[in-house]
Amino acid sequence: MPTSGLIITLQPDPATQANVVARLRARPELTLGELSQRWLPAALETHDDDESREVHDWLMALPGVAFVDVVSVNFEPTPSLQPHLSP
């Protein structure tokens, strides 16, 4: 399950930014941080590399998005929250 750290650069118009953020919040594979001027940090969790590419392409085509920077990618499985006990 790839997890990608993204910085999404939005167009400068506040109304456009609000519309884009609302559309992004509707995508369950995205977790958004706090918008800072034009830059929106996000985490993208997908099932595989193909799905990551599909979402990235959708982001790049979304009206109001100027650019998407991928700042990190982690291919490690999600760690279990349960402690492993030795017998």
Check residue 2 and give its pLDDT.
87
CATH number for 39: 3.30.70.260
What are 76-85's pLDDT values in tens digits?
Answer: 765 554 555 5
Q: In this structure, is residue 87 part of a structural domain? A: no
Check residue 79 and give its pLDDT.
55
Check residue 78 and give its pLDDT.
57
CB atoms within 10 A of CB 4: 21
What are 9-64's pLDDT values in tens digits?
Answer: 999 999 999 999 999 999 999 999 999 999 999 999 999 999 999 999 999 999 99
Q: In this structure, is residue 38 part of a structural domain? A: yes
Q: In this structure, is residue 85 part of a structural domain? A: no
Q: Tokens 């456009």 — which residue? A: 16
Q: In this structure, is residue 44 part of a structural domain? A: yes
Owning domain of residue 27: 3-74
**Into how many domains does the chain fold?**
1
Q: Hey, is 75 helix, strand or coil?
A: coil
